[in-house]
Structure 1
């Protein structure tokens, strides 16, 4: 549960940014943003002025929000006639998260507060949330410990002949029994994910909508992501890529398993993944430019003769090698071309160099790390090697 001190520190950081941008305050309507500042995920809107105390307006459940919210002024959402009176004439410029607010909601609040200018603070919000406090890092270490424990159990139930979906179901069952919440929140439009994926063999390299290196075939054209009904065979790579979500905080990791042996080409690609990960981890330090890390990773893949297979099937390659994680799976920063910003201490990043070899399968590694002055600190602390059964 969020602490009062955490909530207050987050609000203070936001208020500093609002003042620097000449904004009079910010309205947050997106559930996970409300939770970040207030500690409750109930259907609510939070108003955070640049100066003064915030207010939380709860729709449903107000009774539960009242017990969970860390905002002292928590009240029922007022009627449309009462709402404007809560904002003084001095409130002229209001921050709003355009990246996730539907046009309908924007229009609704614009009508409730006529004459005000709404400014996009999406980047400000995501920058603030990207840097984790020690309290948040402890929550993420907790998530990492539980996820690693389920990965350790895979040799107990992975068998040749079982379907991908059976492997996924067994993994998800154990993760859920461990207390995994399962909500993999994503900010990007048109992206969705059901906890993770367990894929194997040639079908694991199927391209798809998901903005990542591996998509899998899925179970239907309506759900074209993740495990399929394909049987797992010997001597092919089995890729298990899952999130662990506990107390709202997400960690992301991937491990490779094989029943029997793998072809030399696959082992070479996996070794390249480890080498790329090692270089990136050594350079996860404050001040290092995200884009430069991506370019170096792509260069190492090219030098290994695997440039066209890096981060996706040839022609379907994802344009990143690492992504921020926290309360959402796709937080800042992103180790990607065009993301020309420096890393900051306390940011948490899932690094995932992967290779898709058509007709053979997918191999790679993924771990969640925290940025520090000494390089990446591993949060998903489990051996990286291929597990041969």
Structure 2
């Protein structure tokens, strides 16, 4: 089966890195990492020795894991004494993804696996996962095709006088009916997202916790992100920024709709976003330096007189123009200042030049691309152009 072959290659790549770092093995506990290497998201622990066959230990559900897992040696989770005998030996160095490991879990491992040295392999793991196989690229491409179908339907279900949350609910309903799983997994601590966000006019200028250009008002202080109960006003840009998730793989897209007429300032900002996308995508090749692509985008924004509102409200701007996507929304690489690393072929990146215009709201574009020697390969095929919608009072 294709996924089993994928998992075998992934584990072999991890073992190669363990050998290079002189580590005796790795323990994989985080659910999405477990799915990546073992093919099941059930609650458990994967032991990957430096060489030889991995061992998957499942707490719950063992039955489901047996149906799904790509690991041949799969067992019920053992007692603490048995675990000590199964995972490494005293004196060995064992890798952990410390970027997501709770301290309580680390204390437990130190107790049940004494005299082992635990080493952070977060960077190794994230770099391995950032480079997608053709199998993974096709998963993201499929998600992009499905999400593009929903974007194309927006003029059919939009009605003048709708609230942001009304239109968001209609969009999310159609996406779910097309099979999107809805889980938008994020690795960063304290970040969360409910499928996406839909904001219109001044709602887009509301600052917030979310590490992106736009947060929106949300529905309460407990959920301060995304669509609000505000009515979508005529002649104001409406940004629909959504993910779709299929077989765990995420695509990320944004499109602009305007009920009524497009203000010249909005059109100027949008044309600038398209130019940023065009130039960054042309440079999205193996060996390109991520931070230099951010500098390129920032320079285009500045030359257009839009530098102060690029990627967020002044003073709270996001410091990136693109982010890796895959099984998580915030994968590597990041096209950001200080991220001075070369891109690799088949890394998949959402490029999202956006502007927060005072008096108008958000304007921009977002598509997901694969790094390629010929420049970025588009994985989200919906038309980029602004779509005009009926203004308030016009017949739908």
For 2:159 and 2:255, locate their aligned partners in 1 and report how far apart those are by CA, in whole Å. Answer: 16
Is the partner of 1:241 in helix, strand or coil?
Answer: strand
Unaligned runs of 5+ in 1: none
Map 1:138-217; keep pairs closer than 5 Å.
Answer: 138-217=138-217
- When normalised by structure 1's length, the TM-score is 0.99
Alignment partners' CA distance in 1, 2:186 and 2:91: 31
Distance in 1 (CA, whole Å) between partners of 2:54 and 2:353 is 42
Structure 1 residue 3: Cα displacement? 1.6
Q: 1:58 to 1:306 in 2, by over 3 A?
A: same
Contact 1:354/1:362 (<8 A) preserved = yes
Partner deviation per Cα, 1:216-250 (whole Å, 9 max, x = no partner): 00000000000000001111101000001011000
Report deviation, 1:359: 2.3
Alpha-carbon deviations, 1:21-44, whole Å to 9, x = none? 010000011000000000000001
Which residue of structure 2 aligns with residue 278 of structure 1? 278
Q: Tell me the equivalent position of 2:264.
A: 264
1:289 counterpart residue number: 289
Give the secondary structure class of the aligned counterpart of 2:126: helix
Asked if the contact 1:164/1:198 (under 8 Å) is kept, the reply is yes
Aligned length: 389
Give the Å deviation of 1:205.
1.4
TM-fit CA distance, 1:89: 3.1
- Alignment of 1:102 onto 2:97: no
Matched, 1:75 2:75: yes
Q: CA RMSD in A?
A: 1.0
The residue aligned with 2:125 is 125
Following the alignment from structure 1 to structure 2, what is the Cα–Cα distance between the partners of residues 2 and 207?
A: 44
What is the CA–CA distance in structure 1 between the aligned matches of 2:20 and 2:179, rounded to whole Å?
41
Q: Where do 1:8-47 residues align within 5 Å?
A: 8-47=8-47
Structure 1 residue aligned with 2:92: 92
Q: Following the alignment from structure 2 to structure 1, what is the Cα–Cα distance between the partners of residues 189 and 16? A: 29
CA-CA distance at 1:160 after TM superposition:
2.0
Distance of 2:88 and 2:369 partners within structure 1 = 44
Partners of 1:197 and 1:203 in 2: CA distance: 11
TM superposition shift of 1:2? 5.8
Asked if the contact 2:310/2:355 (under 8 Å) is kept, the reply is: yes
Paired residues of 1:24 and 1:91 also in contact (CA < 8 A): no
Q: Does 1:388 align with 2:388?
A: yes
Alignment deviations for residues 49-70 of structure 1 (CA, whole Å, 9 cap, x no partner): 1111000000000111111111
TM-score (norm 2): 0.97
Shift of 1:87: 3.2
Deviations 1:59-117 (A, max 9, x none): 00011111111100000110111110113537610000010000000111111111111
Task: Determine the structure 2 residue equivalent to 1:371.
Answer: 371
Native 8 Å contact 2:47 2:56 kept in 1: yes
